[in-house]
Amino acid sequence: MGRCRTAFNAYSVKFSPFIEGRIAVATAQNFGIIGNGKQYVFEVTPFGAIVEVAQYDTQDGLYDCAWSEANENVLVASSGDGSIKVYDTALPPAANPVRVFKEHRHECCSLAWNPAKRDLFLSSSWDDSVKLWTLQAPASLRTFSGHTYCAYHAAWNPQQPEVFLSASGDTTVRVWDLRQPAPTLVLPAHGFEVLAADWCKYNDCLLATGSVDKSIKLWDVRAPGRELLMMMGHSYAVRRVLFSPHAESLLMSCSYDMTVKLWDTSSPQAAQGVPLRSWDHHSEFAVGIDFSTLREGLVASAGWDESVWVWDQRGFPSP
């Protein structure tokens, strides 16, 4: 479909759940080590061009973003200073951010909005914690502690709105239930840091994990003693894993090896490390991916090469 450039290194890309072709992109200057950030909103035109809709400057780098599931104009962004910034694209740039939450003690690195309980969202941080938020409250509703190193990622279970997972540098993935005081499962998923995890959208017991050890693993939480599948197709750390909203066995991943891969987890080739598709359009670390829920087959990726790509998963990215 197309490519757009960002002023800083792109960290995250998310499709709007309301407006087809609209994406939010979180970016950080100097690879997120030190410097400013920019939150972008772009839109893919009917002719395939990508045009800027909004841009918001921040004093610290931005590492992730998430669209509200309740308001098409609202998104949140996670910042290197630990804060969460709330933006409303219906308001002028000078009126944004409309809110700032500041509780995390270190970098806030991931955000996840609940698709069923649409007033709730999660944040995870390098302070080892996950927090639960609503825009209706002045502070977080709850803090989930237990990880002993960075909580890199959090994701809601798509079929059980009270359940979520967190992936951590302590090599575990924890499964949490809002109704319970402690994790319902502590999964020793890898021998090295777990950078990402996601739930299958069609099986609420199935999850995938991605690690510094270059592997992607599939797990059934009912039988967590051993992974169902291990895929060794990346040559460096796996930064993101994401199940398709349209097909049960499709999984997308991106890596520090600069590639984006699409896997058919039901295929015998997956266990041999052979993906369905592999794209190498980024010239730096590929760190952000997303599927459009509104248009089947439409995917996006973001990289440290200051570029964001949107294309059809059956083809190849083109500028």
Residues 163 and 271 in one domain: yes
- Our count of domains for the chain comes to 2
Indicate if 95 and 157 belong to the same structural domain.
no
Question: In this structure, are 102 and 181 located in the same domain?
Answer: no
Let me know whether 101 and 84 are in one domain. Answer: yes
Instruction: Give the pLDDT of residue 33.
Output: 83
Predicted local confidence at residue 106, as pLDDT: 98
- Mark whether 292 and 304 lie in a shared domain: yes
CATH number assigned to the domain comprising residue 262: 2.130.10.10
Domain-embedded: residue 32: yes
pLDDT less than 70: residues of the chain: 1
pLDDT digits (tens, 9 = 90+) for 252-271: 999 999 999 999 999 999 99
- Sorted by sequence, the CB contacts under 8 Å of residue 42 that are 6+ apart come out as 4, 22, 23, 25, 50, 51, 52, 53, 308
Question: What is the pLDDT at residue 59?
Answer: 97
What pLDDT score does 303 carry?
98
Task: For the chain, give the number of residues.
Answer: 319
